[in-house]
Amino acid sequence: MTKTNDEKLCDKTTELGCLVPIQYYSLENTSKVCAEGSVKNLLYMLRLSEHDVTMFWDLATAPLHSISERLCDVVPKIVCNHFSQVNLIQKCLWILWKQFKFTSTKKMKVLYFTSIKNTLRILQLCHFPVLLLVNSKNAVYDHVVVIWQGRIIDYESKNIYMLTNESLQQICGANTFFSHVSCGYGLFPPAKIQALSPEITNWGKDDYNDNKSTIRRFFNKK
């Protein structure tokens, strides 16, 4: 398996209800790949093959020109701006869209995600995985995680842990305090990947596509 030097392989505990027996993590995350690592773990939980998960990781940690060549696609402006700043969430979305045929929600309306109470309530309504960029007080940098099935998939943690007020409060690390969500997108695996988890009957896409549903109003229309 392809791993970074500071990455470790650990067993997932059954009481967490994980879909696969292992996950990757890096407590120090010296390479600052929390977005890429969280999505990598999500793909494991979705039961993708080792080959496909490794393919995602290799793409996500490659230079943009290499990703562009392998995807046969021009680097979108939203992924890299004219200052050559890379948006890591958009980079992961680009790879998921092009290589793995995922679709996604529109961007979250971040004005709804400025308190723990509201953020927790809305995330608990989402049946689909959510890729989330969180800003916290006292944190050195913003942090990216995936929220799915009431759990937090965090590349900087040994364990997948429950989504609660306390875990959300310190989602960027010990002695940090939740401030707001800076960016977020819901993810919809293609039917081929959904079929790998037949026990999951609701992926949340119908709710999202229903303009009258509770969840739809928390996402932009365009």
> Can you give the C-alpha Rg of the chain in angstroms?
17
Residue 18 pLDDT > 90, yes or no? no
Mean pLDDT of 48-62: 96
CA distance 213 to 215: 6
What is the tens place of the pLDDT at every residue in 158-167?
888 889 999 8
Question: Across the chain, what does the average pLDDT equal?
Answer: 88
| 184, β-bridge pairs | 132
What is the tens place of the pLDDT at every residue in 78-127?
999 888 899 999 999 999 999 999 999 999 999 999 999 999 999 999 99
What is the tens place of the pLDDT at every residue in 138-163?
877 789 999 999 999 999 888 888 89
Domains and CATH numbers, the chain: 8-218 (3.90.70)
Range of lowest pLDDT (9-18, 33-42, 122-131, 176-185): 9-18
As a whole-number percent, the residues of the chain with pLDDT over 90 amount to 72
- Token readout for 189 is 């695996």
> What pLDDT is attached to residue 185?
98
Q: Which helix (H) or strand (E) holds 192?
A: helix 191-194
Residue 221 pLDDT > 50, yes or no? yes
DSSP structure string for 125-155: T--S-EEEEEEEET-SS-EEEEEETTEEE-T
> What pLDDT is attached to residue 20?
34
> What pLDDT is attached to residue 8?
41
> What pLDDT is attached to residue 178?
92
Sign, CA dihedral 89-182-7-158, equals negative
